[in-house]
Amino acid sequence: MSLKDANLIIDFKDTKIAFEHKSNEELKKAAWLFKMMNNPKLVKFGSTLGLKALKWNLPFAQTAIKKTIFDQFCGGRSLSETQKTINLLYEHNTLTILDYGAEAKTTEQDFNKTMSETLAAIDFGEMNASVPVVSAKITGMARFALLEKIQLGVELMDREKKEWESALKRIDVVCHHALNKKVGIFFDAEESWIQDAIDKVVNMMMEKYNKRQVIVYNTFQMYRHDRLEYLMSSHEEAKEKGYLLGAKLVRGAYMEKERERAKIKNYPSPIQADKNATDSDYNSALQYCIMNYETISSCNATHNEFSNYFQAELLDQMDIPNNHPHINFCQLYGMSDQITFNLAKGGFNAAKYVPYGAIKEVIPYLIRRANENSSVSGEMSRELKLIKEEMKRRRL
Ligand SMILES: Cc1cc2nc3c(=O)[nH]c(=O)nc-3n(C[C@H](O)[C@H](O)[C@H](O)COP(=O)(O)OP(=O)(O)OC[C@H]3O[C@@H](n4cnc5c(N)ncnc54)[C@H](O)[C@@H]3O)c2cc1C
The pick from 250, 328, 333 for probing ligand 1's pocket by mutation, whose C-beta has the most ligand atoms within 8 angstroms, reads 250
CB of 368 within 8 A of CB of 41?
no
Instruction: List pLDDT tens digits, range 58-71.
Output: 778 888 889 999 99
Nearest-CA residue for ligand 1 atom 8 is 188
Q: How far apart are CA 147 and CA 171, in angstroms?
A: 13
Reduced to 3 states, what is the DSSP secondary structure of residue 272? coil
Distance CA 268, CA 266 (A): 7
List the one residue out of 338, 311, 168 whose CA is nearest residue 247: 311
Check if the beta carbon of residue 85 is closer than 8 Å to that of residue 98.
no
pTM of model > 0.85: yes
Q: Cα(255)–Cα(273) distance, rounded to whole angstroms?
A: 11
294 CB under 6 A from ligand 1?
no
Question: Quick check: 100 and 75 in contact, CB under 8 A?
Answer: no
Which pLDDT belongs to residue 361? Answer: 87
User: Is the Cβ atom of 253 under 6 angstroms away from ligand 1?
Assistant: yes
At 5 the pLDDT is: 47
End-to-end Cα separation, the chain, in angstroms: 39
Find the 71 Cα to ligand 1 centroid distance in Å.
23
**Residue 100, pLDDT score:** 94
In the prediction, which pLDDT does 3 show? Answer: 52
Supply the pLDDT for residue 324.
Answer: 97
Identify the pLDDT of residue 207: 98
Over the chain (396 residues), the average pLDDT of each successive run of 10 is 58 94 95 90 80 75 89 96 97 97 87 96 97 97 97 96 97 98 98 98 98 98 98 98 98 96 98 98 98 98 96 95 97 96 96 95 88 76 93 95
Bridge partners of 350, per DSSP, are 329
Distance from Cα 222 to the centre of ligand 1, integer Å:
8
